């Protein structure tokens, strides 16, 4: 079970436009926000959210690779960046494991 999400991360999620990842529409449908497309006021919040996901999220396998996901309101969130201080993208997908 995830900890409650801090308000600044809820605001990031709710106040930014998520882009549908067309390339993965059939195999792994998801959306993302990317630093270059959001207002600069959100850049540090995005980095902090990526760190929060890694700290408070849960391990889960996707194909043959392990990722850390944070579950919130029917979605799972993750980042693939190794250097979280340089995070420029956060992904989300409908969390089907709860269905």
Instruction: Look at residue 99 in the predicted model and tell me its pLDDT.
Output: 42
Instruction: Look at residue 98 in the predicted model and tell me its pLDDT.
Output: 52
Instruction: Look at residue 62 in the predicted model and tell me its pLDDT.
Output: 75
Classify residue 23: in a domain, yes or no. yes
Classify residue 49: in a domain, yes or no. yes
Classify residue 2: in a domain, yes or no. no
Instruction: Look at residue 95 in the predicted model and tell me its pLDDT.
Output: 85
Domain range for 86 is 7-98
pTM as predicted: 0.90
**SS3 per-residue string spanning the chain:** CCCCCCHHHHHHHHHCCCEECHHHCCCCCCEEEEHHHCCHHHHHHHHHHHHHHHHHCEEEEECCEEEEEEEECCEEEECCCCCHHHCCEEEEEECHHHC
Classify residue 36: in a domain, yes or no. yes
Classify residue 1: in a domain, yes or no. no
Say which range, 1-10, 16-25, 51-60, 81-90, has the weakest mean pLDDT. 1-10
The total number of structural domains in the chain stands at 1
Classify residue 92: in a domain, yes or no. yes
pLDDT of 2 strictly over 70: no
Instruction: Look at residue 8 in the predicted model and tell me its pLDDT.
Output: 97
């Amino acid at each position: 079970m995830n900890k409650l999400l801090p308000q600044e991360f809820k605001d990031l999620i709710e106040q930014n436009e998520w882009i549908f990842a067309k390339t993965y529409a059939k195999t792994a449908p998801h959306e993302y926000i990317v630093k270059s497309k959001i207002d600069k006021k959100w850049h540090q919040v995005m980095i902090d959210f990526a760190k929060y996901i890694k700290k408070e999220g849960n391990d889960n396998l996707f194909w043959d690779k392990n990722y850390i996901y944070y579950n919130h309101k029917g979605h799972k969130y993750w980042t693939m960046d190794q250097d979280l201080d340089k995070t420029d993208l956060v992904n989300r997908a409908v969390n089907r494991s709860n269905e």
